[in-house]
Chains A and B, each alone.
Chain A
Amino acid sequence: MTAREQTEAYEDIPGTWVFDAQRARQGYHLNEFLYSLMKAANRAAFLANEAEYTRRFAMTEAQRTAVLRRDWNKLLELGGVSYALAKLAFTDGKSYQYMASRMTGMTEKEYVEMMLHGGRSPDGWRSRAERQGRA
């Protein structure tokens, strides 16, 4: 499979933004911002004035807005990687599981319940066609 075919195949997986080289390139400054939240002093500075802190990083306006809105799926689409996004969730005092639940549109309680019952079945989620009931 060529790199281009690989990307097309990634795009066919529903509900997923694969963090490939192009998306990583777009997300570089966003992810460096998220990485900075590993330090307690930076977490405090961000929470004290979120908009001002994000201006230290050369991210796009769309990425900045998505950060301020905690628009998790938009952040994935714009090149954020989930492990880095988790640092934003931790800064808010939230868990990984909370962040994942927001991405799915469920409440955290509903999400935990789904996991306790064996998680989400891959059936119907392997391709766009399968998602639309065509495969």
Chain B
Amino acid sequence: MARIVAGIGTSHTPAIGACVDNGKTGEPYWAPLFKGYEPAKAWMARTRPDVAIVVYNDHVNAFDFKIIPTFALGCAEEFPIADEGWGPRPVPPVKGYPELAAHLVQSLVLDEFDITIVNEMQVDHGLTVPLTLLCGTPQAWPCRVIPLAVNVIQYPAPTGHRCYMLGRAIRKAVESWNEELKVVIFGTGGMSHQIQGPRAGLINTPFDTAFLDGLSRDPERLVAIEPLEYLRDAGAEAIELVMWLVMRGALGERVEEIHRFYRVPASSTAVGNIILESR
């Protein structure tokens, strides 16, 4: 049987990808961030998952505004890297797992989640920056990837509760797949940030710290956070954190916190990283 063994929460700030791609990781602004991710990278290399489900959001790259799916699951063999306006990132193409993805769709729809099936999709920094942070710069990504794109751009995003329940349904779906597979799930985006309007640059470290604590010890408290509270207290784009709740929901009740890192800033963002193993 396939098993979800761990979850990774991480920011996906585009400037981090640009920094790696341009060889600037040693600069004083960036060096502490990459040092902070070293334990997570080492953990990823040790854990050697077969598949990573990456919960992320597209930033007006794969999806324009013609169609706005709330939950879109990538079912393709391969996902090309998007040109977001300055050329595609020079990273390997992302290899999918169509058989498992199709199974997930089937299971999730029967569990009353209306998943949009995507058979062709480019992936942007929301998905590739987390892979870079956890896997470095390999010739090929070390595992297959199933992208799960969540609409957090046009409000309202799905609620934290809905995301958490989706995570639980994903766990059930994975466990009903009859193949020995080690699966990890990424929840990406966040943490506190706002990148629009006169209030841009907002950071709320106490909110972020409490969020990381909650993932580890009291996810039910996080599930109850209202959409408005993310916007008001942690910035308009902090709503991305609901994607971390998909990840947490997929881990089952008991988790062990393996690693945590937090730093301000990367560009306009508070960067957070947490690794939770299912127990």
> Residues of A with Cβ closer than 8 Å to B?
1, 6, 9-10, 13-21, 24, 27-28, 31-32, 34-35, 37-40, 43, 73, 76, 81-87, 90-91, 95-97, 100-101, 103-105, 111, 114-116, 118-122, 125-127
Tell me if B226 is interfacial: C-beta within 8 Å of chain A: yes
The 9 closest A-B pairs by CB, nearest first: A119-B203, A15-B199, A15-B198, A90-B85, A82-B196, A115-B265, A83-B59, A100-B200, A120-B201
Which residues of B180-206 have CB atoms within 8 Å of chain A's CB atoms?
Answer: 192, 194-205
* Complex: A21 Cα to B156 Cα, angstroms: 8
* Complex: A75 Cα to B84 Cα, angstroms: 20
What residues of chain B lie closer than 8 Å to A35, measured between beta carbons?
A: 60, 64-65
What residues of chain A lie closer than 8 Å to B267, measured between beta carbons?
A: 96-97, 115
What residues of chain A lie closer than 8 Å to B156, measured between beta carbons?
A: 6, 20
Q: How far is the CB of A98 from chain B (nearest CB, A)?
A: 11
Number of residues on chain B facing chain A (CB within 8 A): 45
What residues of chain A lie closer than 8 Å to B61, measured between beta carbons?
A: 38
Whether the pair A20, B155 counts as a contact (CB closer than 8 A) is yes
What residues of chain B lie closer than 8 Å to A1, measured between beta carbons?
A: 226, 228
What residues of chain B lie closer than 8 Å to A9, measured between beta carbons?
A: 228
Q: How far is the CB of A77 from chain B (nearest CB, A)?
A: 9
What residues of chain B lie closer than 8 Å to A119, measured between beta carbons?
A: 192, 201-203, 264-265, 268, 270
Q: How far is the CB of B89 from chain A (nearest CB, A)?
A: 14
Whether the pair A13, B264 counts as a contact (CB closer than 8 A) is no
Q: Give A13's nearest chain B residue, CB to CB.
A: B232
With known contacts A83-B59, A122-B204, A103–B196 Cβ distance under 8 A: yes
What residues of chain A lie closer than 8 Å to B82, measured between beta carbons?
A: 38
